[in-house]
Amino acid sequence: MNIIRHFACYASVAATVVLLTLSLYLPAAGAAMIGTGTVVQDNLTLQERGLIQDTLNREEVKTKLLSLGVDPAQVQARVDALTVAEIRTISQKFDQLPAGSGVIGLLLVILLLVLVL
């Protein structure tokens, strides 16, 4: 009985030391409130990025990119790397283009952004 108490005492001290040592190396978790505006802006950015990706996935856009000597996979990688401001610029261009003729205009805007990046 005495041996079990000594073992339990040593085990509890060892467990305490291990837990305290681990707590020194683990970063503290940070939490903050997120405003509604931030959530809405993030969702809009995701939707706008999805609109650009959907346009790039069209066959006529891929064909045009290949005819211009641009690899669609490279364009996709560049679009994935766009900043929020660049996505907003492209999205505004979408809204300004007439229906049905936006693919070529959008393609030129994306090519310009690819060249700038």
pLDDT score, position 115: 64
Q: What is the 3-state secondary structure (H, E, C) of the chain?
A: CHHHHHHHHHHHHHHHHHHHHHHHHCCCCCCCCCCHHHHHHHHHHHHHHHHHHHHHCCHHHHHHHHHCCCCHHHHHHHHHCCCHHHHHHHHHHHHHCCCCCHHHHHHHHHHHHHHHC
pLDDT score, position 84: 82
- 2 pLDDT exceeds 70? yes
Over residues 17-43, the pLDDT tens digits come to 988 888 777 777 778 888 888 888 888
Q: Chain-wide mean pLDDT for the chain? A: 77
Contacts of 102 (CB under 8 A, 6+ apart): 94
pTM of the model: 0.51
Over residues 47-104, the pLDDT tens digits come to 888 887 887 788 877 887 788 787 878 878 887 887 888 888 877 776 665 555 555 6
